């Protein structure tokens, strides 16, 4: 099984959050990859890049996205069937983003900081209201979540453990 990371607008494919979460996934026996969206500012162009990548993917996968990468992961999941989605401060319901109605495939877990000044945490609450099966973790943090990596990692590890257990059954 594989974790496929999608980074945010102002970060890169192997930023501190992704490195931290990738180390957890690798320790648990998962393969990992992180798509490089550097220079692609349009979120829907990023969706297309992820879909092209997923067309070649042979393993079952989890999509993990941060900020704009969260939007990219949710939109791509409409067309490809991930095992689950793990979204960190996802850029949902933002002006200028083409998709405003979401149809995710797979179980969705969101972690969002209540002091986020880039993407309001209320946007994640709205997503939960529209997709009742979504698990939402609101934490004391900002948009980057870097001061809460241990908490983010704990939730991420729990998601991977559940998927690994389900794969064994």
Structural element, H or E, at residue 122: helix 121-130
How many C-beta neighbours within 10 Å does residue 131 have?
16
| Residue spans per domain, the chain | 2-168
What pTM value is reported for the model? 0.96
Pick the CATH number of 2-168 from 3.30.70.2190, 3.40.50.1820, 3.30.70.1710, 3.40.50.300: 3.40.50.1820
Joined tokens for residue 133: 């099966």
Joined tokens for residue 107: 């179980």
pLDDT along the chain (169 residues), means of 10: 96 92 97 96 97 97 98 97 97 95 94 97 97 95 94 97 81
């Amino acid at each position: 099984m594989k974790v496929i990371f999608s980074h945010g607008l102002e970060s890169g494919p192997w930023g501190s959050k992704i490195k931290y979460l990738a180390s957890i996934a690798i320790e648990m026996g998962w393969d990992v990859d992180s798509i490089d969206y550097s220079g692609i500012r349009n979120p829907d162009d990023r969706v297309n890049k992820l879909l092209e990548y997923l067309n070649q993917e042979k393993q079952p996968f989890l999509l993990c996205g941060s900020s704009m990468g969260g939007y990219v992961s949710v939109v791509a999941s409409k067309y490809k069937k991930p095992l689950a989605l793990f979204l960190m401060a996802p850029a949902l319901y933002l002006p200028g983003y083409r998709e405003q109605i979401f149809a995710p495939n797979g179980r969705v877990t969101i972690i969002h900081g209540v002091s986020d000044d880039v993407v309001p945490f209320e946007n994640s609450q709205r997503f939960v209201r529209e997709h009742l099966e979504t698990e939402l973790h609101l934490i004391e943090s900002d948009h980057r979540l870097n001061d809460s990596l241990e908490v983010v990692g704990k939730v991420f590890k729990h998601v991977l453990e559940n998927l690994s257990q389900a794969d064994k059954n």
